[in-house]
A = this chain, B = another copy of it.
Amino acid sequence: MVKQERAARTRRSLIRAAAEIFAAEGFVPASLTMISRRAGVSNGALHFHFTSKEALAGAVEEEAAREVRLITESRGCDEAPVLQLLVDATHALMRRLDEDVVVQAGFELSGDLSRPGGVDLRRQWRCWVEGILQRAASDGGLADGVAPDQAADALLAATVGFEVLGARDGKEWLSRPALTRFWELMLPGLAARPDSLVTRGSPGAACPRANEA
């Protein structure tokens, strides 16, 4: 039991170390030696858990996908408009990208040209966004003429932009004010009643972790 716990802890620290190296250096230049050194474990221990760099990247993506599901499965307040879920979830996603290197590396890996395939976090996110927009449309929550699938594309592009700029040019791209200003610009064209929505995110709902902690 103690041995199993230790193995699970080693596995987690390898995933985290891999995420840190992938996020800082990119997938191609990263080596298993850099990762095992960062995790403070031997090469043998690394190979016990992961047979290749690709397997480690897959584990980082799986873990990041789990975090994204935690965000998108958060229900929010029943009384709030459907679009508020979307605003809140984008704030929560940016916060996870800012705070959790595994989520950041997971998205980076999804966008790495040298590494096609694997869990596609961007697709997962877009799919959820489109579902929310469809619900909003059937509730009459979208502005006239807005098609959910087309709006989902525009919102995906913006999310990817913030994510990429946050990784490259500084964490302020992932900050609540940056995303709030984006929603202030976007909601008048997207929502039937933009004034009913809180662009900086509902109090307390911005991150599912806040409720869990």
A residues at B contact (CB < 8 Å)? 23-26, 28-29, 108, 111-114, 122, 143, 145-147, 150-151, 153-154, 156-162, 164-165, 167-169, 173, 178, 181-182, 184-190, 194
Contact = CB atoms under 8 A, between A and B. Distances in A.
A24 B113 CA distance: 7
Given A113-B26, A114-B26, A143-B188, A182 B165 contact: no
Contacts of A114: 25-26, 28-29
This protein's copies in its complex: 2
Contacts of A194: 189
Nearest first, the 7 closest Cβ-Cβ pairs linking A and B are A157-B161, A161-B161, A188-B189, A160-B161, A185-B189, A188-B188, A154-B182
A191 to B, nearest CB: 10
Contact of A160 (B112, B113, B164): B164
A105 B153 CA distance: 23
B28 A185 contact: no
Contacts of A186: 154, 185-186, 189
Nearest to A116: B168
Contacts of A28: 26, 28-29, 114
Contact of A154 (B26, B185, B190): B185
A47 B12 CA distance: 46
Nearest to A150: B181
A91 to B, nearest CB: 14
Contacts of A153: 173, 178, 181-182
B161 A156 contact: yes
Most chain B beta-carbon neighbours within 10 Å: one of A113, A145, A150 = A113
